[in-house]
Amino acid sequence: MAIRVTVWGENVHERKNRIVAEIYPNGMHATIAEALDRDAGVTATTVTLQDPDHGLTPAKLAQTDVLIWWGHAAHGEVQDEIVDRVCDAVWSGMGIIFLHSAHFSKPFKRLMGSPCNLTWREAGERERLWLTSRNHPIAAGLPDSFELEHEEMYGEPFGVPEPMETVFVSWFQGGEVFRSGLTYRRGAGNVFYFRPGHETYPTYHDANIQRVILNAVKWAHNPAARIADPNAAPNVPVDQAPEKIQERGPRLHQAGEEGFR
Amino acid sequence: MAIRVTVWGENVHERKNRIVAEIYPNGMHATIAEALDRDAGVTATTVTLQDPDHGLTPAKLAQTDVLIWWGHAAHGEVQDEIVDRVCDAVWSGMGIIFLHSAHFSKPFKRLMGSPCNLTWREAGERERLWLTSRNHPIAAGLPDSFELEHEEMYGEPFGVPEPMETVFVSWFQGGEVFRSGLTYRRGAGNVFYFRPGHETYPTYHDANIQRVILNAVKWAHNPAARIADPNAAPNVPVDQAPEKIQERGPRLHQAGEEGFR
Amino acid sequence: MAIRVTVWGENVHERKNRIVAEIYPNGMHATIAEALDRDAGVTATTVTLQDPDHGLTPAKLAQTDVLIWWGHAAHGEVQDEIVDRVCDAVWSGMGIIFLHSAHFSKPFKRLMGSPCNLTWREAGERERLWLTSRNHPIAAGLPDSFELEHEEMYGEPFGVPEPMETVFVSWFQGGEVFRSGLTYRRGAGNVFYFRPGHETYPTYHDANIQRVILNAVKWAHNPAARIADPNAAPNVPVDQAPEKIQERGPRLHQAGEEGFR
Amino acid sequence: MAIRVTVWGENVHERKNRIVAEIYPNGMHATIAEALDRDAGVTATTVTLQDPDHGLTPAKLAQTDVLIWWGHAAHGEVQDEIVDRVCDAVWSGMGIIFLHSAHFSKPFKRLMGSPCNLTWREAGERERLWLTSRNHPIAAGLPDSFELEHEEMYGEPFGVPEPMETVFVSWFQGGEVFRSGLTYRRGAGNVFYFRPGHETYPTYHDANIQRVILNAVKWAHNPAARIADPNAAPNVPVDQAPEKIQERGPRLHQAGEEGFR
């Protein structure tokens, strides 16, 4: 069965900024989804900030194997309730890919537990991404390095936790470096951060970038059934302990009581 | 200079539950702080949930090298504003140690970005902690294993991110296991989770447990000056790029503008 | 195309020890391979220590997607040249799974760079394996815990590097714990260590154990083309630098010279 | 008590190459040791490849808290027996720092378990090192980035295991990047790899580089008593099991027998 991808687009600059609108006439999310949809193994749809529930209803998340998130100007408009819902879906097994300025999105910051800050410069300079981990599934089919002639610079230190793996590191013409492709696991969900994608440049039309995103979708997909309640903290009664034991000593909880939260 | 430790106590069951009050007549936080204070290299003070700002004013956090957190019954009463303040302090370099039921505290969940759930049983059973990393600084002076005759069981799967290091794993009489000592770094702050410490047992009077907490304080202490703003994401203007570049292509931001958040 | 698995068996105790021979009349490697071969996605063959080149000729390794290694009594008889060949294959992309007493095999020690030691007891006691990472691909289809009624005990501290992920932790009846399922990446090769499998017990006839090994084969398989020379350290001549630079300053090497090794 | 550092120098190019001899008239090891020795908390000595046992007798290693290794032209001349001895010392708690071309030294390859390869270019180009982890102890007192005007280029992919932490990433004028500062733990020993230091440039006279090495010495120092036998794999007899158990089922080993290796 095809991997069901939902591309979440903030869809603000595409409508307000002439330059962005010319590069992405149907929105960045549409360009990203169309590229994925050309792969036989993927079915991609799009939702935006402006949709009810930002397009992320419980039903939609339940039908999403991998969620892709691009946001920049309107991080603060994303409702906290939806952020909780997205994190729960990740913890129960949904994959998630954060692109570029989504480093400051609410769900990325929530999943990282860290500031997620960096330095930046919007000068249309050259970026060159290098693999650090040759033959990593996210790097499948890519050369050891590839270039984007015009990109925004993001510089270290990047305020994220040490990743499970560093897959790409970027070189910038102006002298900075950045860990551009990072993998994490949160609960049962696979998380990938991928740096490129400033909205005033045609980055998501680039074949190498499209390849990385497609590879990341396949890597992030967890085929296991979703965990019903990823936050459950069940009591194991004494008579159901794997080894026979006798209760002893004082206790706080009565039999059958819920734990504190 | 001595390491300044602040022990944060929820201080609820000590006042409401006779058993807990007998074991910890001045509160669990007091017992933990007194043990630390006996070390010449540490100065420990206590604050509680009931204090203004839960005792965690900006001034107090600025004077805290390592914060220790014990909470259980009243996680929900901790104000979100204080949680933000604590996380900012960690990201700027304050060490933090979470004890036992603090796995479900707001700051731990915020720093982990994961459900932090587990299974549990309150049966006064035997727990045996094993080192997985001999000679780790947090295990200094400890044997390869040590026992607590009566403890609450916490069982795997423990819903936390893969740690930087697993320092202890617990064996439980009833048949479960648990990763009991886990290290993380978040921003410039060192984070340690340590499992034992159910309030109806005299765990914090145990010499081995006191030793682990003291070791963890020394490990978590970052002597570097605190980062002034751990969330800063400064723009690097073109004329201050490390390498000389020319701005080119379209841009969103005007010179001197702040980035989006 | 099916994943090509080669099961390497030391094949010593199966021939010398009556108990082992009764449990594994065709050798442990045969039992492991037969279980894998029942899966439509896998084709499994076996080789043994006694074969020329221990069965691991360059041609055989080139046709092996995932190698499984079981050894115990004759680690020292494995030729260093074959160990080098196996490590090169791993670094170039072959997956490898080490079972039980292979913790002290030459290729495992070589790939870990650490002592790989542990404590042990042969008492036929009960082992219970717990998932620490629910929904991990290696845990697909397994319950949160499962038991082996008779196993050799391996105890912590286990002298291996901190893994990429801890997938299983074992509980032992005699009071010890052990990190039983650990993932690593070495070069382009995925590495999995899995603890159970003492030769005097019928462990590899157990359905859960067979499931873990099958899952691990699928996880370890890297479908990318093998790296031709995983040790290559190519010079990048000045005129082929990605950015135009001028050579300057003194140098050791003449143009076209190999680097030192 | 001061940290006892031993700087191991290959001491080949300093004697054979006029350029290197002018920059390091007493050898690179002497320059590195003199800089460390200026710190009140460190006592540094030097040994070289040409000394008996390459200067690394059991007595010398027993008195070494942190070993620093620089080699390039003569990796192959280091005896395997001494490599084993060094690895044993690391596993028992000695810290070790590998500099620059030591990425291909025998002890580094042995401790990493991976190819440790990279790309390179000797063009005297500019290198700029960026912190990825601000306030890491190894970065104490350093700015977010610093430059070396002339260095050899090392480029990704760098064939090492995913580190515990990536502390520095280098930018090169010619367009490459490299993970320049990496931490590992192997047994009880802390390991740091630090990239800069090509012998035809005055890198080890640079104040920032000296600061990093000093910081790394303090980070790598493990004050715990050395583990007597880091490879020991002791049997735990049934009657000494932490929990009372009865032996049952068949076994291979007789009471008191050594395990296989």
What is the DSSP annotation of A125-188?
A: EEEEEEESSTT-GGGTT--SEEEEEEEEEEESPP-SPPPSEEEEEEEETTS-EEEEEEEEEETT
Confidence of residue B21 (pLDDT cuts 50, 70, 90): very high
Q: A57-74: per-residue pLDDT in tens?
A: 999 999 999 999 999 999
What is the DSSP code (8-state) at residue C161? P
State the pLDDT at residue C258. 79
Confidence of residue B250 (pLDDT cuts 50, 70, 90): confident
Element (H, E) at C85: helix C80-91
Q: Which of A14, A18, A4, A43 is nearest to A197 (CA)?
A: A14
Per DSSP, which regions of chain D are E strands?
3-9, 42-48, 66-70, 95-99, 119-131, 145-155, 165-172, 177-186, 189-194
Chain D positions touching chain B (beta carbons under 8 Å) = 93, 128, 133-137, 140, 145, 147, 164-165, 171, 173, 185, 187-188, 222-224, 227, 242-243
- Is residue C251 over pLDDT 90? no
Query: Which chain D residues have a beta carbon less than 8 Å from that of B131?
Result: none
Beta bridge partners of D154: D120
Question: Mean pLDDT throughout C195-201?
Answer: 97
Assess contact for A197 and A153: CB atoms under 8 A: no
Q: D65-83: per-residue pLDDT in tens?
A: 999 999 999 999 999 999 9
Residue of chain B whose alpha carbon sits nearest to that of A151: B249
State the pLDDT at residue D261. 82
From residue D39, give the alpha-carbon distance in Å to each of B37, D4, D212, D213, D257: 31, 12, 13, 12, 50
Q: Which of D122, D24, D25 is nearest to C250 (CA)?
A: D122
**Within chain D, where are the H helices?**
13-16, 18-23, 28-37, 58-62, 80-91, 106-112, 207-220
Measured CA angle at C92 (ends C89, C94), to 5 deg: 55
Confidence of residue C132 (pLDDT cuts 50, 70, 90): very high
Chains that touch A (3 or more CB pairs under 8 A): B, C, D
Q: Which of D85, D111, D78, D100 is nearest to D185 (CA)?
A: D111
A73–B260 CB contact, under 8 Å:
yes
Amino acid at residue number D211:
R
Please give the Cα distance from B75 to B203 (Å, whole number): 21
B261–A75 CB contact, under 8 Å:
yes
Please give the Cα distance from B91 to D113 (Å, whole number): 34
pLDDT by position in tens, chain D (length 261): 899 999 999 999 999 999 999 999 999 999 999 999 999 999 999 999 999 999 999 999 999 999 999 999 999 999 999 999 999 999 999 999 999 999 999 999 999 999 999 999 999 999 999 999 889 999 999 999 999 999 999 999 999 999 999 999 999 999 999 999 999 999 999 999 999 999 999 999 999 999 999 999 999 999 999 999 999 999 999 999 999 999 998 888 877 777 888
Interface size between A and D, measured as CB pairs under 8 A: 63
- With the CA atoms of C218, C105, B177 and D247 taken in that order, what torsion angle do they form, in degrees rounded to the nearest 10? 120
Please give the Cα distance from D177 to D132 (Å, whole number): 13
Element (H, E) at C21: helix C18-23
From residue B22, give the alpha-carbon distance in Å to each of B17, B36, B102, B201, D149: 9, 21, 22, 10, 67
Residue of chain B whose alpha carbon sits nearest to that of A109: B113
Query: Which chain A residues have a beta carbon less than 8 Å from that of D172?
Result: 171
Chains that touch B (3 or more CB pairs under 8 A): A, C, D
Query: Which chain D residues have a beta carbon less than 8 Å from that of C125?
Result: 241, 245, 248
Asked whether the bond before C52 is cis by omega within 30 degrees of 0, the reply is: no
Global pTM?
Answer: 0.97
Query: Which chain A residues have a beta carbon less than 8 Å from that of C171?
Result: 242
Confidence of residue C253 (pLDDT cuts 50, 70, 90): confident
State the pLDDT at residue C256. 73
Query: Which chain B residues have a beta carbon less than 8 Å from that of D136?
Result: 188
Tokens in use for C209? 């154990």
State the pLDDT at residue D259. 83
State the pLDDT at residue B258. 79
State the pLDDT at residue A153. 98
Query: Which chain C residues have a beta carbon less than 8 Å from that of B172?
Result: 171
State the pLDDT at residue A91. 98
Residue of chain D whose alpha carbon sits nearest to that of A164: D162
Tokens in use for B29? 């936080």
Q: A8-62: per-residue pLDDT in tens?
A: 999 999 999 999 999 999 999 999 999 999 999 999 999 999 999 999 999 999 9
Query: Which chain D residues have a beta carbon less than 8 Å from that of B136?
Result: 188
Please give the Cα distance from A185 to A173 (Å, whole number): 32
C104–D19 CB contact, under 8 Å:
no
Question: Mean pLDDT throughout C86-110?
Answer: 98
Kind of pairing between the strands at C189-194 and C95-99: parallel
Q: Token match 């908390």: residue?
A: D41
**Within A8-105, where are the H helices?**
13-16, 18-23, 28-37, 58-62, 80-92
Q: Within its chain, how far is the Cα of D41 from the centroid?
A: 19
State the pLDDT at residue C255. 72
Amino acid at residue number D99:
L
State the pLDDT at residue A261. 82
D130–A155 CB contact, under 8 Å:
yes
Confidence of residue A197 (pLDDT cuts 50, 70, 90): very high
Partner residue facing C233 (CB), from D19, D119, D173: D119
- Is residue B40 over pLDDT 90? yes
Distance from CA of B221 to the nearest CA of C (A): 22
Q: Within its chain, how far is the Cα of A49 from the centroid?
A: 16
Chain A positions touching chain D (beta carbons under 8 Å) = 128, 130-134, 144-145, 155-158, 162, 164-166, 169-172, 175-177, 179
- With the CA atoms of A246, A250, A256 and A258 taken in that order, what torsion angle do they form, in degrees rounded to the nearest 10? -130
Beta bridge partners of B178: B170
Residues 6+ apart with CB under 8 A from A40: A2
Residue of chain B whose alpha carbon sits nearest to that of C127: B175
From residue A197, give the alpha-carbon distance in Å to each of A35, A68, A210, B259: 14, 13, 11, 15
| SS percent in chain C: helix, strand, coil, step 5 | 30, 30, 40
Residue of chain B whose alpha carbon sits nearest to that of D138: B224
